[in-house]
Amino acid sequence: MYAISLGDDGAELRPLEPWHAEEFLAHLERGREFINRFVPFGEKATDVASARDTLQRYADLRAADTASLHGLWLEGKLVGGVLFLNFDAENANCEVGCWLEPAGTGRGLVTRAMRVLIDFAVEQRGIHRVEWIASAGNRPSLNVARRLGMTKEGVRRSSYPHHGVRHDLEVWSVLAPDWRAARARAVHSDH
């Protein structure tokens, strides 16, 4: 299938689709405890049928142009992914999210993949505002938002019940002009 290379370490970004159900389930089983510490992603996928259902839900959302799921493969193994949520082309707003199993962390996979996603959103889909929402305790996630050059806008206090605890949610974002300016600076500093 088609894939976008994320560098010379064998990392690839590809669509994550219902036919990946078995691979997706095996990946979740390796990472569940870590992945679900702050987010419920994949919690309903507990066997191949429910894993396929989860992927099908995203496939339906992709068809409706409101969300999409993209897997991260490292040397041929599915280790995580990035996604669009609440994609609203009419109002030029979207949210992005991510997850990794432990073996995929610490390599910049999500940061690199997110740049591809945000470039696509801004340059090809005309998105003006890309939002990142994470629990205040989710340091690695907030670090990705910071690394992407996003701005912290505020905290929705005690707004997110997860595993019996009400978490504060931090809202971060980047706007298209700032994204373009940061990308231009990065290209310029490469030379």
In whole angstroms, the minimum distance from the beta carbon of 142 to ligand COA comes to 8
Q: Point out which span in 22-30, 31-39, 158-166, 183-191 binds ligand COA (CB under 6 A).
A: 31-39
User: Which residue, 63 or 76, has its beta carbon nearer to ligand COA?
Assistant: 76
Place of tokens 């390599």: 107
Q: How far is the C-alpha of 108 from the C-alpha of 127, rounded, in Å?
A: 24
Residue type, 128: H
DSSP bridge pairs for 162: 165
Q: Is 53 exposed, middle or buried (0-12, 13-18, 19+ CB in 10 A)?
A: middle
User: Residues 45, 100, 150, 174: which binds ligand COA (CB under 6 A)?
Assistant: 100
Residue closest to ligand COA (Cβ): 108
DSSP bridge pairs for 72: 13, 80
Report 147-186 residues binding ligand COA (CB under 6 A).
none
User: Which residue, 9 or 126, has its beta carbon nearer to ligand COA?
Assistant: 9
Q: Which among 11, 7, 25 has a CA at the least distance from the CA of 82?
A: 11
User: Which residue, 25 or 100, has its beta carbon nearer to ligand COA?
Assistant: 100
Q: How far is the C-alpha of 4 from the C-alpha of 181, rounded, in Å?
A: 23
Task: By CB under 6 A, tell whether 107 contacts ligand COA.
Answer: yes
User: Residues 11, 13, 21, 39: which binds ligand COA (CB under 6 A)?
Assistant: 39
Q: How far is the C-alpha of 42 from the C-alpha of 45, rounded, in Å?
A: 5
Task: By CB under 6 A, tell whether 141 contacts ligand COA.
Answer: yes
User: Which residue, 3 or 186, has its beta carbon nearer to ligand COA?
Assistant: 186
Cβ pair 66, 88 in contact under 8 A: yes
The site for ligand COA (CB under 6 A) is made up of 34-35, 38-39, 97-100, 105-112, 134, 138, 140-141, 143-144
